[in-house]
């Protein structure tokens, strides 16, 4: 238990000295992407080989370090999920990609023992071999602040977090600043909520700090529900103390004494890591009563979500923590006045809290040098879809979509052409080629009819049908609508019906106009953020891809060739051997013919189910 600032500083110094003394390191990415591709097997193999070959190694930070020991470590997500499992060799900073168990022996023999780089494992793009991680184009244009520790430290070790300068911001907030100064610093930094809304964090904090109703609460929204987003997961799993530190500082600033972290049900590892981090912080006296010998007390709790997207909305989230159905309520009163248990509550997203320690440590002026005038700092994005380098990235606000998609993301997969990017999940919108030079910041995106949202970027190529994408999102929102207010409950249902009709080839004249009318109505009248933004994907795809909608409705044709019901299925008489397999497979008896002669599909009966296509042993049946 650390009872004073001096004790904390001395302990941090010890941790730092131990980390600095480490010589060679093998850091294996333990992020979900790499683990699912076999990172744990690579770790086990490396460990077994070092034992077998008598290479001296350690698995955790040593009390009395020996620089000739090799440190084997599983860190958090390195972000470059596409080419995982990833292994980084330090001090050289070499990055090995797509590492398999079979590569491990060479890594030990060549790299660890002889200090040579294995070029065949290095990342290669357009014939150029990139040995060092920092030279790889995927990393070069990034500025990693909130994700800084993720690929460096062992998330289960508070000592490593301390060695990286952890809890210095808390120290500063508790001993060198008044709570007003903390609030001012955050306000001054221009930090805006990273959960989607972009509300100035400092303003929110000052509103809670002003309240005289105790106790007050600090709540973290870790209910990252947007499909296609996983950046908060990374912070919670890979650098849990950064989140805790940010929340404790919010407590200092606002006079709150209890913290709640609401974590999405699908993230069991995040729950486990946070629980462990809380226990460690309590053990060291950084959480609990009389933190570091001061009068300040702060207790942290974890709530697991149970699968409701609407719980990402503030008042629904607090209702869920209270053990109720997670439904939003009418505002005002706002969460800052009547939030959790009806008390004043600071509610921010994971990434917002993850930025706090840096702002307190390095100051608002420094923070403002990153990003744009009205959107300072960085933003993490989950880059996915039909893109070459899927992964987790962090860039300064104001970076253009082109830089993100083509420089960092490496462009489209399989040489296809860029069509659109969906940003901000089901609440956001689609952007097209004409927006590629748009800077990614709160205001520019809003103008273009999209939002930053939580930061999911799903890139789509020519084979993606935009009407189908709109239907997909509407299906999601309609499913997740809590049913409390009529515009969202009924409106999304009607919109979904129309979209389903269009992709099924039964679109009618007037459907587009009806979608627009319903969309505008829901946006104006729904109770909460989920409803207000539900029509975003539909309205933005109509705006930029109206022709595709029209082709579906008036020509019964899907230009991207994706909509099953709009396909024509035909038998190629040249290839058909007349085996009758397809006719027997067809559920509606649409195929007929004589044995050993080409069969024919009756297009009026065909329901385009495609079962004949997979049944044909001669690949004679084609979808168009």
Partner 1 sequence: MEQKIDLTVLDQAIKEFGNQEKSLIAILQRAQEIYRYLPQEIFPYLAEKLDIPEARIYGVATFYENFSLERKGKYIFKVCDGTACHVRKSIPILEALRKELGLSETKKTTDDFLFTVETVSCLGACSSAPAVMVNEEIYPTMTPESAVALIKQFKEKN
Footprint on this chain of partner 1 (rule: CB under 8 A): 32-33, 35-37, 81-82, 84, 224-230, 233, 264-268, 303-309, 320-327, 382, 384-386, 390-392, 422, 425, 456, 458, 460, 464, 469, 472-473, 476, 479-480, 482
Q: Which residues have C-beta within 8 Å of that of residue 152, sequence separation ≥ 6?
A: 27, 75, 160, 164
CA separation, residue 268 to residues 32, 265, 274, 305, 447 (Å): 11, 7, 10, 10, 37
Which CB atom, from 376 or from 541, has the smaller least distance to partner 1?
541
State the minimum distance, in angstroms, from the CB of residue 341 to partner 1: 8
Hey, what are 568's tokens? Answer: 């024509």
* Residue 163, CB-side half-sphere exposure with 13 Å CA sphere: 22
Which CB atom, from 193 or from 385, has the smaller least distance to partner 1?
385
State the minimum distance, in angstroms, from the CB of residue 20 to partner 1: 32
State the minimum distance, in angstroms, from the CB of residue 334 to partner 1: 21
Q: What angle do CA 172, 175, 177 make, to 5 degrees?
A: 65
State the minimum distance, in angstroms, from the CB of residue 420 to partner 1: 10
Hey, what are 379's tokens? Answer: 């933003």
CA separation, residue 86 to residues 37, 42, 393, 421, 510 (Å): 10, 10, 15, 27, 52
State the minimum distance, in angstroms, from the CB of residue 589 to partner 1: 20
Which CB atom, from 85 or from 198, has the smaller least distance to partner 1?
85
Closest CA to 515 of 557, 466, 564: 466
State the minimum distance, in angstroms, from the CB of residue 513 to partner 1: 27
Which CB atom, from 304 or from 379, has the smaller least distance to partner 1?
304
Residue 102, Cβ density class (10 Å: 0-12 exposed, 13-18 middle, ≥19 buried)? exposed
State the minimum distance, in angstroms, from the CB of residue 102 to partner 1: 19
Which CB atom, from 75 or from 201, has the smaller least distance to partner 1?
75
Which CB atom, from 123 or from 267, has the smaller least distance to partner 1?
267
Residue 423, Cβ density class (10 Å: 0-12 exposed, 13-18 middle, ≥19 buried)? buried
Strands 391-396 and 25-29: unpaired
Which CB atom, from 266 or from 570, has the smaller least distance to partner 1?
266
State the minimum distance, in angstroms, from the CB of residue 452 to partner 1: 16
Residue 303, helix vs strand vs coil: strand
Closest CA to 406 of 424, 392, 418: 418
State the minimum distance, in angstroms, from the CB of residue 184 to partner 1: 34
CA atoms of 589 and 446, how far apart (whole Å) = 52
Which CB atom, from 50 or from 482, has the smaller least distance to partner 1?
482
CA atoms of 332 and 325, how far apart (whole Å) = 20
Closest CA to 537 of 420, 430, 382: 430
Which CB atom, from 225 or from 487, has the smaller least distance to partner 1?
225
């Amino acid at each position: 238990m650390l009872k004073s600032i001096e004790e904390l500083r001395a302990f941090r110094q010890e941790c730092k000295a131990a980390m600095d003394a480490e010589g060679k390191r093998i850091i294996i990415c333990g992020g979900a992407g790499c683990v699912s591709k076999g990172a744990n097997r690579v770790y086990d193999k490396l460990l077994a080989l070092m034992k077998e070959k008598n290479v001296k190694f350690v698995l955790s930070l040593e009390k009395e370090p020996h620089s000739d020991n090799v440190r084997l470590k599983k860190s958090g997500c390195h972000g470059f999920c596409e080419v995982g499992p990833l292994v980084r060799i330090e001090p050289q900073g070499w990055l090995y990609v797509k590492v398999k168990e079979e590569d491990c022996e060479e890594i030990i023999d060549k790299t660890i023992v002889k200090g040579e780089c294995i070029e065949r494992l290095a990342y290669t793009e357009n014939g150029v071999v990139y040995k060092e991680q920092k030279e790889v184009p995927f990393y070069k244009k990034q500025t990693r602040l909130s994700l800084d520790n993720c690929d460096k430290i062992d998330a289960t070790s508070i000592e490593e977090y301390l060695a990286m300068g952890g809890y210095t911001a808390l120290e500063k907030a508790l001993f060198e600043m008044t709570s007003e100064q903390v609030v001012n610093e955050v306000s001054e930094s221009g930090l805006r909520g990273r959960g989607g809304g972009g509300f100035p964090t400092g303003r929110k904090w000052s509103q809670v700090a002003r309240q005289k109703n105790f106790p007050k609460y600090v709540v973290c929204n870790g209910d990252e529900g947007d499909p296609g987003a996983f950046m908060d997961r990374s912070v919670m799993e890979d650098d849990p103390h950064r989140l805790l530190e940010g929340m404790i500082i919010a407590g200092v600033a606002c006079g709150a004494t209890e913290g709640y972290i609401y974590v999405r049900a699908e993230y069991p590892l995040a729950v486990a890591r946070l629980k462990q981090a809380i226990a460690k912080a309590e053990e060291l006296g950084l959480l609990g009563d009389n933190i570091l010998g001061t009068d300040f007390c702060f207790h942290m709790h974890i709530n697991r979500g149970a699968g409701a997207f609407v719980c990402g909305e503030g008042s629904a989230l607090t209702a869920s923590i209270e053990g109720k159905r997670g439904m939003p309520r009418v505002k005002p009163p706002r969460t800052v006045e009547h939030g959790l248990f009806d008390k004043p509550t600071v509610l921010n997203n994971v990434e917002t809290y993850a930025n706090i320690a840096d702002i307190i440590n390095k100051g608002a002026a420094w923070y403002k040098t990153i990003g744009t005038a009205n959107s300072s700092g960085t933003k993490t994005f989950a880059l996915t879809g039909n893109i070459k380098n899927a992964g987790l990235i962090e860039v300064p606000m104001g970076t253009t979509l082109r830089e993100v998609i083509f420089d960092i993301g490496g462009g489209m997969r399989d040489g296809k052409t860029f069509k659109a990017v969906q940003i901000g999940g089901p609440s956001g919108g689609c952007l097209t080629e004409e927006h590629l030079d748009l800077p990614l910041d709160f205001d520019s995106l809003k103008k273009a009819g999209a939002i930053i949202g939580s930061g999911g970027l799903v890139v789509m190529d020519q084979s993606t049908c935009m009407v189908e994408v709109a239907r997909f999102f509407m299906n999601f929102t309609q499913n997740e609508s809590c049913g409390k207010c009529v515009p969202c409950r009924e409106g999304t249902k009607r919109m979904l019906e129309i979209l389903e009709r269009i992709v099924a080839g039964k679109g009618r004249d007037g459907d587009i106009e009806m979608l627009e009318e319903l969309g505008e109505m829901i946006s104006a009248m729904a109770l909460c953020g989920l409803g207000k933004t539900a029509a975003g994907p539909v309205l933005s795809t109509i705006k930029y891809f109206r022709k595709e909608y029209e082709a579906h409705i008036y020509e019964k044709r899907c230009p991207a060739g994706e909509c099953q019901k709009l396909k024509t299925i035909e038998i190629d008489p040249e290839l058909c051997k007349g085996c009758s397999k397809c006719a027997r497979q067809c559920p509606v008896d649409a195929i007929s013919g004589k044995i050993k002669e080409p069969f024919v599909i009756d297009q009026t009966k065909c329901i385009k189910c495609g079962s004949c296509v997979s049944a044909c042993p001669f690949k004679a049946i084609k979808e168009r």
